[in-house]
């Protein structure tokens, strides 16, 4: 098991404050600035190994395929749930408004999404792998109970940072998605895969094929 980096609590606090700023002033910019600084510090101090970000054709293929599949499955699941629970669509539209998705142009939103998604994976999934040396023991698609417990713990920490927006839907999505991305990180021993999946999913459900386009 990898130790918890000293910067991890700072990252959680920064994200908690970021969502507070988002709720009050409607901007994603604090996530980009704080995320970039903390990501550099995590990598420079060795808390997260630079090797975990090294791309490969295999990781690229897994990331792109899984990201596209996750977008498709999200829309299928959302359609089924929305048909059974009509209140889901208004809740989703309210969440989109809270996230201020319409506050930026499409290229600006896309850039912020990629930057923030990349930072979140380093800060919240990177500790699952730790240094490059520690990460090499992962990547064989095998899990033990301690690994799954850590994935759930970090997914919960990630989800709890969304509380300032007071959106149960966002908190639930953050926990579920955080768990999926954590499993991918441990299963592949790479942060490249969850970064690709996270960015593709965010771009897919927020910009390219928004969930709120449903009648």
- Residue-wise DSSP of the chain: -PPPPTTHHHHHHHHHHHHHHHHHH---HHHHHHHHHHHHHHHHTTSS-GGGG---HHHHHHHHHHHHHHHHHHHHHHHHHHHH-TTHHHHHHHHHHHTTGGGS-HHHHHHHHHHHHHHHIIIIIHHHH-SHHHHTT--SS---HHHHHHHHHHHHHHHHTTGGG--HHHHHHHHHHHHHHHHHHHHHT-SHHHHHHHHHHHHIIIIIS-GGG--
Tell me the pLDDT tens digit for each residue of 59-118.
999 999 999 999 999 999 999 998 999 888 898 988 888 886 556 788 888 999 999 999
Q: Is the pTM of this model over 0.75?
A: yes
Note whether 101 and 208 are within 8 A (CB): no
Rounded CA separation 71/48 (Å): 28
pLDDT surpassing 80 at residue 185: yes
Tell me the pLDDT tens digit for each residue of 42-62.
999 989 999 999 989 999 999
Q: How many residues does the chain have?
A: 215
pLDDT surpassing 80 at residue 4: no
């Amino acid at each position: 098991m990898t130790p918890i980096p000293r910067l991890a609590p700072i990252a959680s606090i920064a994200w908690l404050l970021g969502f507070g700023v988002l709720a009050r002033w409607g901007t994603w910019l604090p996530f980009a600035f704080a995320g970039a600084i903390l990501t550099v510090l995590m990598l420079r101090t060795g808390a997260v190994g630079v090797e975990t970000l090294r791309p490969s054709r295999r990781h690229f293929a897994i990331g792109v395929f899984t990201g596209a599949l996750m977008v498709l499955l999200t829309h299928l699941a959302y359609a089924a749930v929305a048909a059974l629970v009509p209140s889901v669509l208004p809740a989703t539209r309210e969440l989109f408004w809270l996230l201020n998705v319409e506050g930026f142009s499409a290229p600006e939103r896309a850039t912020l999404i990629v930057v923030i998604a990349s930072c979140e994976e380093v800060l919240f999934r990177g500790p699952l792998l730790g240094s490059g040396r520690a990460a090499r023991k992962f990547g064989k698609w095998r899990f033990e109970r301690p690994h799954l417990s850590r994935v759930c713990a970090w997914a919960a920490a990630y989800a709890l940072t969304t509380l300032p927006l007071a959106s149960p839907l966002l908190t639930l999505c953050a926990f579920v998605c955080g768990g999926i991305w954590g499993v991918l990180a441990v299963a592949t021993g790479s942060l490249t895969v969850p970064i690709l999946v996270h960015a593709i999913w965010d771009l897919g459900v927020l910009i390219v094929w928004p969930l709120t386009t449903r009648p």
